[in-house]
Amino acid sequence: MDRPHVVAISGSRRSGSYTRRSLRLALEAAADAGARTDLLDLRELDLPPFDPDAAEPDRVRTLKRRVREADGALLGTPVYHGSYASTLKDALDYCGRDEFRDTTVGLLAVAGGGSYASTLDHLRVVVRTVHGWTVPHQVGIRNAADYFEGEELVDDGLARRVERLGREVAANADVEPAARTEVHAPGER
Ligand SMILES: Cc1cc2nc3c(=O)[nH]c(=O)nc-3n(C[C@H](O)[C@H](O)[C@H](O)COP(=O)(O)O)c2cc1C
């Protein structure tokens, strides 16, 4: 593989979203590590709610193509009611194994309050279901308003964790599918 291609999907529609800012930082680190990067801002993409009966509009085809073309993905979400945001859920429901198989995934959650663990766990289960490969390193930011000033994540330790997430996804995005062979018995799904 030449340069790995890393897409970040930001699940907050808030204008000054800490999630979006954090993903930008992770993408900068991925780019410094040699990756081509792409920010999929779901606020801008403004997808319709997922409806299995509806025809797929162009925006959905764009989403799926950009995820499918990526070797690595960063999923970022605000913590909503102990889980992840419906905006991200809609985007993930449009996607499946065609988009995420053999994709290396990094997870990031931003909480206004004190806990984010369940949010990251819920996302990890979703990624497994669509056969993506999550890296063990993950980032949770609690009490987010304390750590951001304007456009900046001002806590050095957290910023390093975010950057490491971007670097790890970029560094592991080139694991070839052959090295990840799934072993099925004949007839097994
Ligand atoms: C509907 C809703 C539910 C929320 N639920 C939680 C929660 O369960 N725990 C928490 O710590 N913060 C919760 N928050 C606060 C958000 O996690 C917080 O505002 C976060 O910074 C939003 O991320 P953003 O800046 O990327 O939009 C909630 C906010 C909203 C709007």
Fill in the amino acid letter for 167. Answer: R
pLDDT at 180 exceeding the cut of 60: no
pLDDT at 182 exceeding the cut of 70: no
Distance CA 85, CA 88 (A): 5
Mind listing the pLDDT tens digit for each residue in 73-118?
A: 999 999 999 999 999 999 999 999 999 999 999 999 999 999 999 9
Residue 49 Cβ inside 6 Å of ligand 1? The answer reads no
Q: Looking at the domain 5-180, which fold is it? A: Rossmann fold (3.40.50)
Protein residue closest via CA to atom 27 of ligand 1:
17
pLDDT at 185 exceeding the cut of 70: no
Residue 141 Cβ inside 6 Å of ligand 1? The answer reads no
Mind listing the pLDDT tens digit for each residue in 10-60?
A: 999 999 999 999 999 999 999 999 999 999 999 999 999 999 999 999 999
Residue 134 Cβ inside 6 Å of ligand 1? The answer reads no
Residue 113 Cβ inside 6 Å of ligand 1? The answer reads yes
Question: Which one, of 133, 116, 127, lies nearest residue 182 by Cα?
Answer: 133
Is this prediction's pTM over 0.75?
yes
105 within 8 A of 172, measured Cβ to Cβ: no
What's the pLDDT at 44?
A: 96
| Residue 186: band (very low, low, confident or very high) from pLDDT cuts 50, 70, 90 | low
